[in-house]
Amino acid sequence: MLYLVPTPIGNREDITQRAIRTLSEVDLILAEDTRTSRPLLQHYGIATPLRAYHAHNEHAIAPQLVAELKEGAAFALITDAGTPGISDPGFLLVRACREAGVAVSCLPGPAAFVPALAASGIPCDRFHFEGFLPHKKGRQTRLQYLATLPHTFALYESPHRIVKLLGQLGEVCGTDRIACVAREISKLHEEITTDTLEKLHAYYAAKGSVKGEIVVVVAGLT
C-alpha cells in the first residue's frame, strides 16, 4: 500500500491524528526533502525511516519503490507541505503503482489553494486550479487563457515574482478585475488581501520584500 499523507502548510497543528498514526506505522516515509520533514516527524515522535523522493530522482527510483511495494511493503509519501501530487511530486509514483496493481490511499488534508479560495470572498462554487505558471515559455499563453475563464482561478507564485505576476494579470484581465493574494496561510503572519489587481499590484510593489508561500485567486470574466 502507498499512502499519500498531507502535511501542514504552516501551523504544525494542521495535521490529522490519522496522518500521525499512518506515518508511525508504515515501513518507510518518502519525503520531498528529508531535512524539511524531519523536524515535523520529530515533533510528533515519529521514528519511521526516511528516504528522499523528489522531482530530481522520481523517474530513477519509482520502479524500485513499486517493486518493494508489490512485495508487501507499506510506504507513505509526503512533501515539504500540503498534499502530494498537488504541484508537488507524487503523480508519477501513483501512476506507476496503479499500473502495477499496488493499492493507493490518499488521506484528506491541507492544500494551500483551498483556504485561499474559501477566505478570498471571491465565488468558489466553480474554479480552475492552475498551480505554478511556466517561468518563461508558455507563460503568456497560459495567462491569456486564464483571463477568459468565466469562473474563478487560483495559482501559486513565489514571493519574489508576485509583483511581476500581478502586473501581468492586470494586463490580460484588466486592472479592475477582483483578485486575492493569500500569503503565509495558517502561519503567524498570515495575510489575505482582496482588492482589484491594480491596487494589489501597487500594494505589493510598495511593500518591497515579500516572504512566504503565495496563492493568487482571481475572479472569472464577467
User: For residue 23, which of 68, 85, 84 has the smallest C-alpha distance?
Assistant: 84
Is the pTM higher than 0.85? The answer reads: yes
Residues ≥6 apart with Cβ < 8 Å to 195: 178, 179, 203
| CA 44 to centroid of chain Cα atoms | 22
Instruction: For residues 61 and 57, give the distance between their C-alpha atoms in angstroms, rounded to a whole number.
Output: 6
Angle between helix 162-173 and helix 197-207 axes, rounded to 10 deg: 160
| Spatial separation of the C-alpha atoms in residues 39 and 56, rounded to whole Å | 22
Percent of the chain with pLDDT over 70: 100
Among the four given CATH numbers 3.40.1710.10, 3.30.110.40, 3.40.1010.10, 3.40.50.970, the one describing domain 2-106: 3.40.1010.10
Residues in the chain: 222
Q: Specify the pLDDT at position 208.
A: 83
pLDDT value of residue 209: 85
- 152-157, strands of its sheet edge to edge: 127-132, 152-157, 214-218, 178-183, 191-196
Domain ranges of the chain: 2-106, 113-218
* Cell numbers found for residue 36: 524539511
Residues 120/192, Cβ–Cβ less than 8 Å: yes
Q: Which of 121, 104, 213 is nearest to 158 (CA)?
A: 213
Q: pLDDT of 113-164, one tens digit each? A: 999 999 999 999 999 999 999 998 999 999 999 999 999 999 999 999 999 9
Domains 2-106 and 113-218 share a fold: no
Q: What is the mean pLDDT of residues 87-101?
A: 97
Residues 31-76 pLDDT 10s: 999 999 999 999 999 999 999 999 999 999 999 999 999 999 999 9
In terms of CATH, what superfamily is 113-218?
Tetrapyrrole methylase, C-terminal domain (3.30.950.10)
Q: In the 8-state DSSP scheme, what is residue 161?
A: G
- Residue 5 confidence (pLDDT): 98
User: Chain-wide mean pLDDT for the chain?
Assistant: 97
Which of 35, 93, 13, 21 is CA-nearest to residue 5? 21
